[in-house]
């Protein structure tokens, strides 16, 4: 039921020099499905990461942070089916064991491997099955493995999510390819998902760290499906340096600007794909807030609207019960908000109508227009707070009957 989202075409996913991917069926939770992915990186690759802020962060997240601090990352191991979260010391031991097992197969140190898990929380990771599946995943390693890897990291996703772009940097063609997974338990802080974006640009580690944080903020931290922040959120940005461009060492030049724009573009595409494939989603909704005193204020309002189950169910029903949007704006936490000054528009790809102004319904608004617009699958709520020059955008989806069905049956 994904909203205007199609599965990527394998021929459109471009290999990234210095990256190989392999998948296997390890039986982590269910038989006969690809649930184990290995990503191998060339020597000299640089890796940056952004992770969940959930205090119950999963064992692999804890291990990833520690290993990233040591640098020289050469491989990633990703399993789906079991999140290895809420598993205490045994969970940490299993995460470390998965790193050690892959390191042994690739001739690396365990600290050069990053582990990732996604799936059911509070269940032990069957590390014996994971380790047994690693030789098959390693044997499958290939530069063209992005399409299969995008499928192998899925949980309740209905479609794989993958994007490639190419950009000229320093006279060289730089390739970027990324994959992500996520459909439910989606709320920014950072995002509730797994995302892996690789490029073959040469870029200094400090700049890559900053770019990963900025890209996450503008993409994965600007989406929400259901307001739940996962225990396993991870967004990894890789730069192999194999494109042969002169290393980017400062943010002032054209090379950095080109790389930044491309990384953010790919990140936004991957993040929006998660929302379009939100569990049970039938509508893709853009909540655009402008006229705030600062960006945080705009994000508060955008998230209040995007998280509201009353707003989301009204949009699912194509019911222009738009007073629910005003209610969400009102409880967003801006104590000195002048509601008589703000304005709200409802839009589709075809038209946009002013819904509210002067503290109430716009004089020009008729419900027939709202009902007509809400029949579209792509919708925009634009809010002008009339307080300043800042703005922010959040992407979300509606709540349908299937959202409840999917999550009621998640463990079956």
Alpha carbons 394 and 284: distance in angstroms, whole number: 11
Alpha carbons 200 and 238: distance in angstroms, whole number: 8
**Pair 395, 275: CB distance under 8 Å:** yes
Alpha carbons 187 and 299: distance in angstroms, whole number: 13
Omega prior to 91 cis, within 30 of 0: no
Q: How many CB atoms lie within 10 A of CB 394?
A: 25
Alpha carbons 197 and 141: distance in angstroms, whole number: 17
Nearest residue to 243 (alpha-carbon basis) of 46, 22, 12, 11: 46
Q: How many CB atoms lie within 10 A of CB 144?
A: 13
* Per-position b or e across 94-126, b if 16+ CB within 10 A of its CB: bbbbbbebbbebbebebbbbbbbbbbbbebebb
Residue 393 designated active-site: no
Say whether 116 sits in a helix, a strand or coil: strand
Alpha carbons 234 and 181: distance in angstroms, whole number: 10
Nearest residue to 303 (alpha-carbon basis) of 329, 342, 327: 329
**Pair 98, 63: CB distance under 8 Å:** no
Contacts with 237 (C-beta within 8 Å, 6 or more apart), sequence order: 47, 48, 49, 197, 198, 199, 208, 211, 212, 215, 263
49 - beta bridge partners? Answer: 236
**Pair 168, 39: CB distance under 8 Å:** no
**Identified catalytic residue from 192, 240, 286, 396:** 192
Residues designated as active site: 192
């Amino acid at each position: 039921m994904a909203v205007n989202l199609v599965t990527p075409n394998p021929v459109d996913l471009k290999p990234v020099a210095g990256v190989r991917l392999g998948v296997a069926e390890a039986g982590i939770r269910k038989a006969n499905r690809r649930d184990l992915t290995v990503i191998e990186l060339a020597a000299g690759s640089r890796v940056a990461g952004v992770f969940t802020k959930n205090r119950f962060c999963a064992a692999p997240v804890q291990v990833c942070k520690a290993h990233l601090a040591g640098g020289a990352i050469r491989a990633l191991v990703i399993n789906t089916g079991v999140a290895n979260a809420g598993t205490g010391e045994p969970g940490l031991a299993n995460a470390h064991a998965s790193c050690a097992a892959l390191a042994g197969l690739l001739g690396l140190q365990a600290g050069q491997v990053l582990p990732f898990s996604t799936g059911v929380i509070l269940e032990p990771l069957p590390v014996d099955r994971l380790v047994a599946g690693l030789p098959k995943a390693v044997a499958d390693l290939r530069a063209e493995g992005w399409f299969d890897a995008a499928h192998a990291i899925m949980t309740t996703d209905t479609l794989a999510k993958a994007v490639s772009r190419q950009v000229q940097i320093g006279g060289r063609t730089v390739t970027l390819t990324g994959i992500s997974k996520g459909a439910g338990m989606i709320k920014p802080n950072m995002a509730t998902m797994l995302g892996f974006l690789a490029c073959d640009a040469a870029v200094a580690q400090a700049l890559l760290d900053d770019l990963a944080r900025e890209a996450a903020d503008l993409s994965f931290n600007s989406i929400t499906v259901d307001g739940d922040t996962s225990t396993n959120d991870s967004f990894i940005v890789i730069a192999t340096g194999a494109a042969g461009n002169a290393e980017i060492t400062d943010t002032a030049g054209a090379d950095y600007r080109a790389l930044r724009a491309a990384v953010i573009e790919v990140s936004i595409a991957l993040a929006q794909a998660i929302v379009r494939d939100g569990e049970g989603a039938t509508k893709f909704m853009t909540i655009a807030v402008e006229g705030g005193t600062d960006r945080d204020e705009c994000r508060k309002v955008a998230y209040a609207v995007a998280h509201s189950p009353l707003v989301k169910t009204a949009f699912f029903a194509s019911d222009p019960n738009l007073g629910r949007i005003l209610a969400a704006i009102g409880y967003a936490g801006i104590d000195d908000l002048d509601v008589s000054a703000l304005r709200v528009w409802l839009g589709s790809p075809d038209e946009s109508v002013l819904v509210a102004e002067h503290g109430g319904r716009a004089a020009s608004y008729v419900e027939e227009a709202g009902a007509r617009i809400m029949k579209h699958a792509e919708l925009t709520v634009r809010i002008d707070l009339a307080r300043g020059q800042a703005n922010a955008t959040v992407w979300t989806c509606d709540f349908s009957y299937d959202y409840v069905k999917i999550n009621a049956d998640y463990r079956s």
